[in-house]
Structure formats: C-alpha cells, structure tokens
Chain A
C-alpha cells in the first residue's frame, strides 16, 4: 500500500531518470522517459512486449548508454558508467532469463554476487538468509546451476542479486515462464526483501496483475514512452488498466491511439 504522502519529508528519490532516450541498434527504443523511484518502495514498469521495459533497465544498469537524458542514483549521475561501476554503487540487476552462471555451482553463483563485498561475516549471514528463503537452493548447493529448473534459477538469480547487498534491485520479468504458484512464492520473497531488508525495487513486468499486486507505484509504457503513472490504488481503479491487464489481445492500433491520448509524460 501507498499510505504515506509521496512528497513527505523522509521521502527521497533513490533513482531519477529525466528525458532518457536510448537507441537499441538503430531503433530508438526509449523515447524520452522520466521516472523516479522513491527509497524503500517497489515501483513497477508495466507494458507489453517491445515497449522498452528491458531497455530502460539496461540503460539504468549501464549495459546500454543513453543517447540523451540523465540518470541519477541518489543524486549522482550514473548514465554512461560501466555496468560494474553502477553495480558497485549499489544497483543489482536481475536480468530477464535469469542469466545464472550455468556451469558453476549454486554456492559459487551466490558467492559471486558478493564478489565485491569485504564484510565476510555479513556475507555469510546473507548467504544463510537466501538459503532460508529458498530451501530448494540448499539441496542443490553443490550442483551446477544448469541442473536447476527455471523457477529455481529465478530464485538463484534473485538470491545472487541480494548477495550484492544492493540498495536498488532492478528486476526484469521475474514471472517469466513460471507457474502461478511459483510466481506467488517468488513475489512473496521480493516483497520480503523490500520490507524486511529495505531494498528498493524497480520491477519490470508484462504480467500486470502480479506487478500491481506487488508494487507501491507504477508506470505503464508503450513503444518507448510512459503513457500512464500513478500509485497502486489509482492504477487499479483505472479503466484503462483494467482493460490493459484483462485483455492484452484486444489491444490494436485503435487502442494504442487511446493510450497516447492518456499519456502523462511531457
């Protein structure tokens, strides 16, 4: 829920994007996106395939350089930094498709998350926390990650990101290809990491139902632009959102035009 006032004194933007434009090859995939992520919240970006959600995350984490615009983490400009530098500043990117180190053991995968940390005792505690959340990982601890199922690999990717001790997690489609039960489990842990561990989340999802259930604040993207934004209750109440997540199939050219009429970006 989003009960605290947005502009209250304790609220600061952990992440702020202003007029970001990014090319993916020759295609301008992000066409001037501004958004902000308040410290301690879960913010989601929803939208259909090809809307530019993944490109946004890659631009934030530095895998892609923006063509224009600014990206500030805690007030510091991070656009055009190398992804490892951004990661060391406290941003953990959980990429689409998990991208675990397939031939390394589950243990090595998790410990590689903590590669840049020097606080050994705390690393060990976090390691135990992750295994507590995901008992499946404990039983596969010395097996190669390639032997894990898709859901277990998602758990590993999430755990590995938590091992980085991030301030901000970028989650790219954690629900992709998972059963509803697994989606429930994984999002429970995501919420737990947010509430109990104080990690801010920027979540990208095609599955708007899940995203809205989880997030405090949300953005809707269409073809590289943000066409709608609002806190969770406002988005849930919106007629367009109802349609958007009930029947993506009906969405045609006409629909898209109506979305553009609704856009709130400048």
Chain B
C-alpha cells in the first residue's frame, strides 16, 4: 500500500468502519430472524432498499420534516416486516427451510421490480441528517460516516439491553431457544415472531436511510446486503455480537483491499469471508460458545 500517508489510512479506516456499521445493521436483522425461526431472509437487503425509498418519498417528494420522514419510513418498514411474516412466512411453518429461502429470494426480486415501478431505476441521493464534514487534525470525515458508526454502536447496545433486561426481549430469546416450550408457557409466539420480523425490517430500513446520504440509492442498492451476509457468516451466523464484529471487520478491511487491488474492487468482502472460514469454519464467535442474542 504505497502512497498512503497517515491521514489517508485514517480516512479509509473511518469510511470502512462506517460501511461496516451499516452492514452490521443489515446483518442484525438477518441474525434476529435466523435465531428466532431458523429461516434466512434473503429479502433483508430489499427491506433496506425500501427504507431508503420510503425516506426519499416522505422527505424529498412530500417535503416532510427530516426526522418525521425518517421515523415514518422506519415505522412503515416495521409494518411491512410484521405483515410479511404474519401473512406469508407463518404459513410456511413445518415446510422445508429451502422453501422459505426461495420464497424470500423471490420476494426480494419482486420488491426490487415494484420499487423500480414506483420510483424508477435511476439513482438518487437522500438528504443528510447532518451535512458537512469534521476535520480531525487533517483527517476529513463526513458527518454522515460518523453518524452511521454512532447509530450502529448505540443500536447494538440498545438491542443488547433489550434482550438482556426487557420482558419481551427475554421472551424473544426464549422462543428462539425453544419454540415449543415458549408456546407451552402461553407466550404469544406467533405475534412475537412477527415482531422479530418487524424489528429486522426496521434495522434494514435504518441502514438504508443512513446509507442514502453516503452512497446513491437505487434498486441495485440491495447488493450491499450480500456483504452483510458475508459479515454475518464471518462472525458465526446466529450470534449478534459475532455478526456485528464480522461486518465491522469486513467493512473496515474493504477500502484497504480495494486500494491495494483496484482491479478486484468489490470482492474484498468475499475474499475475507473465504480466508476466515478456511481458518475457522464455524465463524469467529460461533453459536456453540456464544448463543447469547
């Protein structure tokens, strides 16, 4: 990596961490659903895309105040996530997991097409929560990147506290550990499961809304979601701290990888995933040792 001075390295590191933070928000959604139902939601990145598009609709097209549009977009995605589970996924209980894989994959494709129908296939930019840059002794960073990192950190902490201390959070852990026993306790398992889908979709929407100002939003934005998959797998699929760690690692390493191998731009995440899995096939924090949510 010749030609990089300290400021460049710092710049890349922070951009990478911001990117990794956004991956981790998407990955948290994936892992939440996987732990609760052992299903994998391939439409998670489309939830993120929809979050960005709804934000665009509310804030830019309808001219709502920023925070109102921002929160409303997240709420709408929560509703979509809940309804999707309640109407579609819940019926698949008892069917092979494979069916849900394909179903969610197809849902993602349909959602992309629908988004294109409503909002077009062009790229656009979302307004920033806090425009401008911050100058850290020569290292110039956009506030958007800082906010992405802070938001992911705060939400991970909030999620941890929610699962550790709240009644509903503990019940969600219980149902992901033993669904039948949760039923026997009288817990409203179906509603709780749909709520987990809502939570996952909301995390995806937040990632989309935070990504909007950094990158351009288009129907193709969902491909970022695959990097979140890579991050979650690196961390040991099924562990939320692992997924966050894996995503941060991948996000952090990616800009350096791209600088070092410009011809291989964009595949860094997968190369890292391969490398980690060769050494630790179970991922960094595997479920065996740490199945804490």
Please give the residue numbers on chain A whose beta carbons come within 8 Å of chain B beta carbons, in ascending order. 61-63, 82-84, 87-88, 92-93, 95, 99-104, 108, 111-113, 115-116, 160-161, 164
The answer to whether B178 has its CB under 8 Å from any CB of chain A is yes
- Nearest-neighbour CB distance to chain B for A130, whole angstroms, equals 14
Report which residue of A83, A95, A108, A111 has the largest number of chain B beta carbons within 10 angstroms of its beta carbon. A83
> Does B185 contact A112, Cβ atoms closer than 8 Å?
yes
> Does B184 contact A61, Cβ atoms closer than 8 Å?
yes
> Does B177 contact A88, Cβ atoms closer than 8 Å?
no
> Does B184 contact A116, Cβ atoms closer than 8 Å?
no
Question: Which residues of A are found within 8 Å of B173, using beta-carbon distances?
Answer: 101, 103-104
- CB-nearest residue of chain B to A160: B185
> Does B170 contact A104, Cβ atoms closer than 8 Å?
yes
Question: Which residues of A are found within 8 Å of B190, using beta-carbon distances?
Answer: 82, 84
- CB-nearest residue of chain A to B184: A93
> Does A82 contact B167, Cβ atoms closer than 8 Å?
no
- Nearest-neighbour CB distance to chain A for B10, whole angstroms, equals 39
> Does A95 contact B177, Cβ atoms closer than 8 Å?
no
- Nearest-neighbour CB distance to chain B for A162, whole angstroms, equals 12
Interface contacts beyond A108-B170, A112-B174: sample of 10 additional A-B pairs, CB < 8 Å, sorted by A = A84-B188, A88-B186, A95-B180, A99-B180, A101-B174, A103-B292, A104-B174, A104-B177, A112-B185, A112-B187
- Nearest-neighbour CB distance to chain B for A245, whole angstroms, equals 29
Interface string of B115-136 (1 = CB under 8 A from A): 0000000000000000000000
Please provide the chain B residues from 163 to 196 with a CB less than 8 Å away from any CB of chain A in the complex.
167, 170-171, 173-174, 177-178, 180-190
Instruction: Choose from B178, B184, B188 the contact partner of A92 (Cβ within 8 Å).
Output: B184
The answer for the CA separation of A113 and B178 in the assembled complex, in Å, is 13
The answer for the CA separation of A131 and B60 in the assembled complex, in Å, is 59
- Nearest-neighbour CB distance to chain B for A109, whole angstroms, equals 8
What would be 27 A-B contacts, judged by CB atoms less than 8 Å apart?
A: A62-B183, A63-B183, A82-B183, A83-B184, A84-B182, A84-B183, A84-B188, A88-B186, A93-B184, A95-B181, A99-B184, A100-B178, A101-B181, A102-B178, A103-B177, A103-B292, A104-B177, A108-B170, A112-B187, A115-B171, A115-B187, A116-B185, A116-B186, A116-B187, A160-B185, A161-B184, A164-B186
- Nearest-neighbour CB distance to chain B for A201, whole angstroms, equals 15
- CB-nearest residue of chain B to A105: B170
Question: Which residues of B are found within 8 Å of A102, using beta-carbon distances?
Answer: 177-178
- Nearest-neighbour CB distance to chain A for B134, whole angstroms, equals 41
The answer for the CA separation of A99 and B182 in the assembled complex, in Å, is 10
Question: Which residues of B are found within 8 Å of A88, using beta-carbon distances?
Answer: 186
The answer for the CA separation of A111 and B171 in the assembled complex, in Å, is 10
Instruction: Choose from A82, A100, A112, A164 the contact partner of B170 (Cβ within 8 Å).
Output: A112
Closest 8 CB pairs of A and B: A87-B186, A83-B183, A99-B181, A116-B186, A93-B184, A88-B186, A101-B174, A101-B177
Please give the residue numbers on chain B whose beta carbons come within 8 Å of chain A beta carbons, in ascending order. 167, 170-171, 173-174, 177-178, 180-190, 291-292
Question: Which residues of A are found within 8 Å of B170, using beta-carbon distances?
Answer: 104, 108, 111-112
> Does B181 contact A115, Cβ atoms closer than 8 Å?
no
- Nearest-neighbour CB distance to chain A for B287, whole angstroms, equals 10
Question: Which residues of B are found within 8 Å of A112, using beta-carbon distances?
Answer: 170-171, 174, 182, 185, 187
Question: Which residues of B are found within 8 Å of A101, using beta-carbon distances?
Answer: 173-174, 177-178, 181
- CB-nearest residue of chain B to A114: B185
The answer for the CA separation of A88 and B191 in the assembled complex, in Å, is 15
Question: Which residues of A are found within 8 Å of B178, using beta-carbon distances?
Answer: 99-102
- CB-nearest residue of chain B to A88: B186
Question: Which residues of B are found within 8 Å of A116, using beta-carbon distances?
Answer: 185-187
The answer for the CA separation of A102 and B174 in the assembled complex, in Å, is 9
The answer for the CA separation of A113 and B186 in the assembled complex, in Å, is 8
Query: Known contacts A101-B174, A104-B170: does B185 contact A115 (CB below 8 Å)?
Result: yes
Instruction: Choose from B167, B184, B189, B292 the contact partner of A95 (Cβ within 8 Å).
Output: B184
Question: Which residues of B are found within 8 Å of A164, using beta-carbon distances?
Answer: 185-186
- CB-nearest residue of chain B to A163: B185
The answer for the CA separation of A103 and B293 in the assembled complex, in Å, is 10
Query: Known contacts A82-B190, A103-B291, A115-B167: does B174 contact A87 (CB below 8 Å)?
Result: no
The answer for the CA separation of A112 and B192 in the assembled complex, in Å, is 14
- CB-nearest residue of chain A to B171: A115
- Nearest-neighbour CB distance to chain A for B164, whole angstroms, equals 10
> Does B181 contact A87, Cβ atoms closer than 8 Å?
no
Question: Which residues of A are found within 8 Å of B182, using beta-carbon distances?
Answer: 84, 112
Question: Which residues of A are found within 8 Å of B189, using beta-carbon distances?
Answer: 84
> Does B185 contact A63, Cβ atoms closer than 8 Å?
no
- CB-nearest residue of chain B to A61: B184
> Does A84 contact B186, Cβ atoms closer than 8 Å?
yes
The answer for the CA separation of A209 and B230 in the assembled complex, in Å, is 56
The answer for the CA separation of A87 and B190 in the assembled complex, in Å, is 14
The answer for the CA separation of A111 and B292 in the assembled complex, in Å, is 18
Question: Which residues of A are found within 8 Å of B184, using beta-carbon distances?
Answer: 61, 63, 83, 87, 92-93, 95, 99, 161
Question: Which residues of A are found within 8 Å of B291, using beta-carbon distances?
Answer: 103
The answer for the CA separation of A84 and B173 in the assembled complex, in Å, is 17
- CB-nearest residue of chain A to B189: A84
> Does B186 contact A115, Cβ atoms closer than 8 Å?
yes
The answer for the CA separation of A111 and B165 in the assembled complex, in Å, is 12
